[in-house]
């Protein structure tokens, strides 16, 4: 039986919920984690409100192997993630000398004011996640990884985190184009194939453009043999439907 390593992602920020900022992190992190054998099972977006963040952190860190967060670790008053994480874990929080040292690489003593020092507030017992771009670190405490919201910084932090993650069996994914066939034509056969391969997940994904629908069938699983057999069964089924001259 393939080992399953699971994760949740918590996006923290009013700006996503008002639509001011269009999130670019969910898709990136989802693809990244899938690629290294970590199953992303849930995503939540919550506002910059302490009780909402604390509740979501405690719910999600208890349900999955890992919890990743993005956003709210900058120098302004609306950056409350670190304090919320400390509260969720019931630990203290203060300026961390290691984090202060990192900020000193970027800021002169004059520049390193109270607000910027806020970025060195790290919950007790956390380890730091380096930020090669703007120095202010993320951190890990327990199974929770706290990252920046700015995509380029988040991506650099994720690269630093990845080698330390326990990885499960990697997901094997086969994508099959249902060229010219409508979902309603192959749905019944696809359902039968899905029932025959319980270890495999089969999805059908339509997309729509001015040139009409395009349907893709995605076969996913951790057992290479089962995925290959299920994908072959899907291809055979589609070929049969085309050969039958079924309506497009």
Residues 86-105 that bind a copy of itself (CB under 8 A): none
Shortest approach of a copy of itself to residue 139 CB, angstroms? 19
Q: N- to C-terminal Cα distance for the chain?
A: 40
The piece of 111-119, 124-132, 222-230, 232-240 that touches a copy of itself (CB under 8 A) is: 111-119
Q: Does 36 bind a copy of itself (CB under 8 A)?
A: no
State the Cα–Cα distance between residues 188 and 176, nearest whole angstrom: 17
Q: Does 227 bind a copy of itself (CB under 8 A)?
A: no
Question: What is the x/- site pattern for a copy of itself, positions 115-144, by CB under 8 A?
Answer: xx-xx-------------xx----------
Nearer to a copy of itself, 1 or 20 (CB): 20
* Residue 141, phi then psi, degrees to nearest 5: -135, 125
Burial of 16 per CB tally in 10 Å (0-12, 13-18, 19+): buried
Q: In whole angstroms, how large is the CA radius of gyration of the chain?
A: 23
Shortest approach of a copy of itself to residue 125 CB, angstroms? 26
Q: How many residues bind a copy of itself (CB under 8 A)?
A: 76
Query: Between β-strands 6-12 and 39-46, what pairing exists: parallel, antiparallel or unpaired?
Result: parallel
Q: Does 16 bind a copy of itself (CB under 8 A)?
A: yes
Q: Does 76 bind a copy of itself (CB under 8 A)?
A: yes
Nearer to a copy of itself, 60 or 141 (CB): 60
State the Cα–Cα distance between residues 59 and 63, nearest whole angstrom: 7
Contact 218, 174 (CB under 8 A): yes
């Amino acid at each position: 039986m393939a080992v399953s390593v699971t994760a949740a992602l918590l996006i923290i920020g009013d700006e996503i919920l008002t639509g001011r900022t269009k999130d670019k992190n969910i898709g990136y992190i989802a693809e990244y984690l899938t690629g290294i054998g970590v199953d992303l099972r849930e995503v939540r977006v919550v506002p910059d409100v302490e009780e909402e963040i604390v509740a979501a952190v405690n719910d999600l860190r208890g349900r999955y192997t890992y919890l990743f967060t993005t956003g709210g670790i900058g120098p302004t008053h609306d950056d409350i993630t670190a304090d919320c994480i400390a509260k969720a874990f019931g630990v203290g929080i203060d300026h961390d000398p290691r984090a202060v040292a990192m900020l000193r690489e970027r800021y002169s003593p004059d520049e390193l004011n109270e607000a910027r020092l806020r970025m060195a507030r790290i919950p007790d017992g956390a380890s730091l996640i380096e930020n090669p771009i703007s120095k202010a670190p993320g951190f890990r405490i327990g199974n929770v990884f706290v990252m920046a919201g700015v995509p380029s910084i988040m991506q650099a932090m994720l690269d630093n985190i990845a080698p330390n993650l326990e990885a499960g069996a990697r997901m094997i994914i086969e994508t099959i184009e249902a060229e010219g066939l409508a979902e309603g034509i192959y749905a019944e056969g696809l359902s039968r194939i899905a029932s025959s391969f319980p270890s495999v997940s089969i999805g059908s994904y339509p997309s729509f453009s001015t040139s009409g629908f395009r349907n893709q069938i995605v076969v996913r699983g951790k057992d290479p043999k089962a995925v290959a057999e299920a994908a072959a069964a899907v291809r055979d089924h589609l070929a049969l439907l085309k050969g039958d001259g079924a309506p497009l």
